[in-house]
Amino acid sequence: MPGPLGPCSGPAVAFAQGNGRFRSPTYFNTDFTIMKSTRLPGWEKGLLGIGLQFFNFFNHPNFGFPFSGVSDGQFFGKIPYLEQPPTGILGGGRPGRMIQLKVQLQF
């Protein structure tokens, strides 16, 4: 049963964060792998593959949300941090491009 003032008893509140708060620069990440496979002598279907894997190949930074608090004017509109990939070969807190050697044995 609604109260004496009806179903909504509080005043309407405007969204204080402003227009475009949920937009940020695009997230851009490119991984690249190059492999060379060769047959193993003496094995029917044996292959040995050697290659390189590049994570964040173009070394592109991904920026976070701009600071939208108008109460502190010196930070308004500035981007205080870089986004990190949520998962990865070594976790999310690694900066820049990573290169690793890959060895693969198929039999």
* Structural domain span for residue 83: 28-107
Could you give the CA distance from residue 97 to residue 60 in angstroms, rounded to a whole number?
8
In a domain, 87, yes or no: yes
How many residues are there in the chain?
107
User: How distant, in Å, are the alpha carbons of 1, 12, 41 from that of 7?
Assistant: 8, 13, 81
Q: Does a structural domain hold residue 64?
A: yes
Digit-by-digit pLDDT tens for the chain (107 residues) are 555 555 655 555 555 555 555 666 777 788 999 999 999 999 889 999 999 999 888 887 777 777 777 676 777 777 777 776 655 555 555 667 888 999 999 99
Domains held by the chain: number:
1
Inside any domain, residue 45: yes
Domain membership flag for residue 15: no
- pLDDT at site 77: 73
Whether residue 41 lies inside any domain: the answer is: yes
Q: State pTM to two decimals.
A: 0.58
| 22 is a domain residue | no
- Residue 94 counted as domain residue: yes
Q: CB-based contacts of 23: which residues, under 8 Å, 6+ apart?
A: none
